[in-house]
Chains A and B, each alone.
Chain A
């Protein structure tokens, strides 16, 4: 109980762990597909507390981590242009491209700005009519309504110097790809709470039925995750496989309809490359033809860039659960958050960074305690 004692709901969490252990007559393997959940599971030590009963595989749930190298390289190429102001969410700045990252482009004089909202990027475009403003539209379904609105508003307001570099992926096709992969060990999924807050869970129902796999819509707090695991274990033990909603305080079956509608108006489904995993059919969004004028790849002629992943980064094996981060030969030596080989070591929601910080945290703990006056 070392880590959970730091958590205010430890008194609720502890009995849940006992419930899970009692409910499970054999070990089960589950996967969470949400970087926020990965962060909680590793940080709070839930995987250790359930050791021997439940194995948690940390799936491709961090949008930063699955953004393919070629999209990063396109971003770097745009950011280096003197006529471009490149805008991005903060967590993309240190993701390594083939030879540098956005932060280094900025240090060399490139105009790279962090924005809180895609509408802020649009605002920058309106204030700088003599520059091209590009926004790096990365994310899962949670972020898609915001990015869709930026394109929608740009068209509505006739902002011609604004475009978006789209790197949008969607969760259900990734779950399908994992279930289809040879040697798959995953027997149940925790689906991401805020992705489902937007999208609802109807898309997951045919997947649960087809692959006979329980899918639990789950929040990101320790108690949420333990409840999600318990629901999955009860289904597995009973031979059931349906979608259940643990995160009732935020998620409805049909999600947020106005947000879904705007996403559908602006984006269409397309095959997307996932970093370290490869192409997954119909697993992401691109702008619909009506919004082609706001497509940065088209505007700047970047559509044909293809880049091979560096062989030394084992992100694909980590993201599909075939390798735990500490088992990677580069982990903590040639690959650290300061000098990352791949995105899972950069993002706070990446599995590699989560394990790295946890290891450092527990190593430093006694020293820090000793050093305090």
Chain B
């Protein structure tokens, strides 16, 4: 469960006082906290995301390649949790 999954930042939203954003993982989009990489990333950048937090920036080709390998190895567990996710209706 320590596996991070690469995705693309498609939206940023700092209105809650916490740097947040939407990250696209091969078509699946999730709200992600960008606080730990805030200074390094901009809209359109790729990040490694673990349990809803971006932990590192990666370049696009590396992100695409890693995502394909994860898909191939059926290692997208975190995204599979989405199947039975609770939906928090307020932003944290």
Contact = CB atoms under 8 A, between A and B. Distances in A.
Contact of A198 (B55, B77, B80): B55
Nearest to A36: B3
A151 to B, nearest CB: 12
A8 interface: yes
Interface string A243-261: 0000001100000101100
Contacts of B86: 87, 113-115, 120, 124
A301 B73 CA distance: 42
A146 B2 contact: no
Most buried by A among B18, B32, B66, B69: B69
Nearest to B78: A116
Contacts of B89: 123, 127
A78 interface: no
Contact of B77 (A9, A139, A142, A348): A348
A47 interface: no
A347 interface: yes
Contacts of B85: 114-116, 120
A122 B18 CA distance: 13
A176 interface: no
Most buried by A among B2, B32, B48, B86: B2
Interface string A19-41: 00000000000000011100110
A63 B2 contact: yes
A194 B18 contact: no
Most buried by B among A43, A119, A153, A192: A119
A149 B50 contact: no
A119 B55 contact: no
Contacts of B1: 35, 62-64, 89, 91, 138-139, 143, 347, 349
A126 B90 contact: yes
Interface bin, chain A:
35 or more
Contact of B88 (A124, A142, A192, A262): A124
Contacts of A140: 2
Interface in B19-66: 30-33, 35-39, 48, 50-53, 55-56, 58, 62, 66
Nearest to A63: B1
Nearest to A126: B90
A89 B85 CA distance: 9
A218 interface: no
Contacts of A39: 73, 75
A262 B75 CA distance: 28
Contacts of A142: 2, 4, 50, 55
A139 B2 contact: yes
A248 to B, nearest CB: 11
Interface of A: 7-9, 34-36, 39-40, 43, 61-64, 87, 89-91, 113-124, 126-127, 138-140, 142-143, 145-146, 149-150, 153, 156-157, 192, 194-195, 197-198, 220-221, 249-250, 256, 258-259, 262, 347-349
16 contacts: A36-B3, A63-B1, A64-B1, A113-B86, A117-B33, A117-B51, A126-B92, A139-B51, A142-B4, A143-B51, A194-B3, A197-B56, A198-B55, A249-B62, A256-B55, A258-B38
8 pairs of A and B residues whose beta carbons are closest in the complex: A117-B52, A123-B88, A90-B81, A113-B86, A119-B92, A142-B2, A259-B36, A146-B53
Given A116-B81, A138-B1, 4 more contacts: A117-B53, A149-B53, A150-B92, A259-B53
